Structures are given as structure tokens and as C-alpha cells.
């Protein structure tokens, strides 16, 4: 069974800290790995997409890495801000399925 | 439109009634996806469309669920004889590519329809 897990389930950090969110998946048949942000009551916003041939992608303070052999992806957030507070989901795409992790709920305390 | 639009934003219905949820994808996007997010649960993939066809419908939870897409644009997700366990947020997304597996197919999500079955 294909599964995607995320650790930790919840995280609370003071403003300014650097942090890492983890995503693990079974089955190395992956086409891309995407990180999303979800704010309460709103839809998902795509943050970064890493193709299976890539190792990492960067956008502003965000950096996502992908290690297919170990079945892991990490999202690194530098210099966290209160506006970063949200739920972060990773999603693994194989040929005909998209499987989401359960998400990490992040709170950045001013 | 500028983004993925879903309607209604909220729907309250009685058990046993049928409901239709609508999704307007970003103009020009050929792929369209439906997901369900139940309270306290992760995001569940339901179905995706390449143009007007759905290659894999196995993600639909039961035969009470059906989806269609016409003109390569608007899609409707229909739930017949709704049950309380159907209560969830139903999210729609679209992406530019035709093939789901295309590596650069970033998905753009709508705000969702919150369905409550009483």
C-alpha cells in the first residue's frame, strides 16, 4: 500500500527560527513530490514541486529536497515568520495517483 | 478566471438528498482533479480528468459518487443519496498538463466546497 507520512504532526517555534518538515513515502515509483500550504478555511497553495530527476528546489526562504532512494523529502523554512503559520502538506505523484501526507501544523510565535 | 473556482462554498443538505459540486478550472488547464478532506483526516484523492475523460475512477469512495467534465472545462462531482460520512471539504485542482505524471504539472487548488450532511 502506498503511504505518505509527515513528521512532526505539529510544530510550534518562536519567530526567526529555521525549521525542517519531513515527508516520507513508500514505493520509489515517483514522478514528482509537491509541497503545499493550507490556511484554515482555504484551499491549498502550491509551494514547491520537485521532479523525480531533481534533488531540490528553492523559492525564497523555502527549500525542498528529495531523496528517492530513501523515500524522503524535507521542507526547510529559513527565518520563520508568524505569517508562515499554516498546515504544510506533501504530495507524491505516481503515474495515476496523487497521495497526500497528513500534514504538519506549524505555529510561529511572534 | 484567474484561479480555480468552486461552487457552492458551503452546502448543507439532508441525509438522502443528492448534491452537485462544481469546479471551474483555470482557463487552458487540461487536467482537473477532485479531492476530499474529512475532519481530522488527510487529503484523499478521488479522481482526475484528462480533458473530458477520467482514466482512473477507483478513488471514488462508492458508486454514489460520480464526476463528469464537459468541454474540457467545468467539472461536476455528484453525490447521490448523501450520508453523514460524506461530510467533508471537497477540493478541486487543475494543472496545465494532460498527463498526470508529467513532472512539471503543478496543481492549483480552489478554496473548496464544505459539505455538511445532517
Over residues B42-82, the pLDDT tens digits come to 788 899 888 888 877 878 999 999 999 988 899 999 999 99
Question: Nearest-CA neighbor of A108 among A5, A14, A4?
Answer: A14
Which positions in chain B touch A89 (Cβ < 8 Å)?
A: 42-43
Q: Does B22 touch chain A (CB under 8 A)?
A: no
Asked if B102's CB is within 8 angstroms of A34's CB, the reply is: no
Model confidence pLDDT, tens digit, residues B9-28: 999 999 999 999 999 999 98
Residues of A in contact with B23 (CB under 8 A): none
Rounded Cα–Cα distance for residues A2 and A77 (Å): 27
Mean pLDDT of the B28-34 span? 89
- A82, three cell numbers: 508568524
CA distance linking residue A90 with residue A65, whole number of Å: 12
Residues A26, A70: Cα–Cα separation, whole Å: 9
Upstream peptide bond of A8 is cis (omega within 30 degrees of 0):
yes
Which chain A residue is nearest to residue B88, measuring alpha carbons?
A: A41
Cα–Cα dist A79/A103, whole Å: 21
- Is B48 in the A-facing interface, judged by CB distances under 8 Å? yes
A47-101 pLDDT tens trace: 998 888 889 999 999 999 999 989 999 999 999 999 999 999 999 887 667 888 9
Is B55 in the A-facing interface, judged by CB distances under 8 Å? yes
Cα distances (angstroms) measured from residue B118 to each of A2, B35, B41, B85, B96: 33, 21, 19, 10, 37
Rounded alpha-carbon distances, angstroms, from residue B18 to B12, B38, B98, B112? 11, 19, 30, 18
Angstrom distance (rounded) from CA A89 to CA B76: 25
pLDDT at B98 over 60: no
- The answer, yes or no, to whether residue B95 has pLDDT greater than 70, is yes
Amino acid at each position: 500500500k502506498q503511504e505518505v507520512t509527515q513528521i512532526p504532526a505539529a510544530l510550534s517555534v518562536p519567530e526567526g527560527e529555521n525549521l525542517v518538515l519531513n515527508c516520507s513515502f513508500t514505493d520509489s515509483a515517483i514522478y514528482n513530490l509537491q509541497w503545499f500550504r493550507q490556511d484554515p478555511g482555504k484551499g491549498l497553495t502550491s509551494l514547491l514541486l520537485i521532479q523525480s530527476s531533481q534533488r531540490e528546489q528553492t523559492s525564497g526562504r523555502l527549500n525542498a529536497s528529495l531523496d528517492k532512494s530513501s523515500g524522503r523529502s524535507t521542507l526547510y523554512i529559513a527565518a520563520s515568520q508568524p505569517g508562515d503559520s499554516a498546515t504544510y502538506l506533501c504530495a507524491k505523484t505516481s503515474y495515476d495517483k496523487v497521495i497526500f501526507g497528513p500534514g504538519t501544523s506549524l505555529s510561529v510565535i511572534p | 478566471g484567474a484561479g480555480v473556482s468552486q461552487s457552492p462554498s458551503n452546502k448543507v443538505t439532508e441525509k438522502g438528498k443528492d448534491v452537485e459540486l462544481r469546479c471551474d478550472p483555470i482557463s487552458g488547464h487540461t487536467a482537473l482533479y477532485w479531492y476530499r478532506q474529512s475532519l481530522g483526516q488527510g487529503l484523499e484523492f478521488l479522481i482526475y480528468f484528462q480533458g473530458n475523460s477520467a482514466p482512473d475512477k477507483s478513488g471514488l469512495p462508492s458508486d454514489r459518487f460520480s464526476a463528469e467534465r464537459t468541454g474540457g472545462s467545468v467539472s461536476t462531482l455528484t453525490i447521490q443519496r448523501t450520508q453523514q460520512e460524506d461530510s467533508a471539504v471537497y477540493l478541486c485542482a487543475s494543472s496545465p498538463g494532460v498527463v498526470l505524471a508529467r513532472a512539471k504539472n503543478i496543481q492549483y487548488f480552489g478554496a473548496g466546497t464544505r459539505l455538511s450532511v445532517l
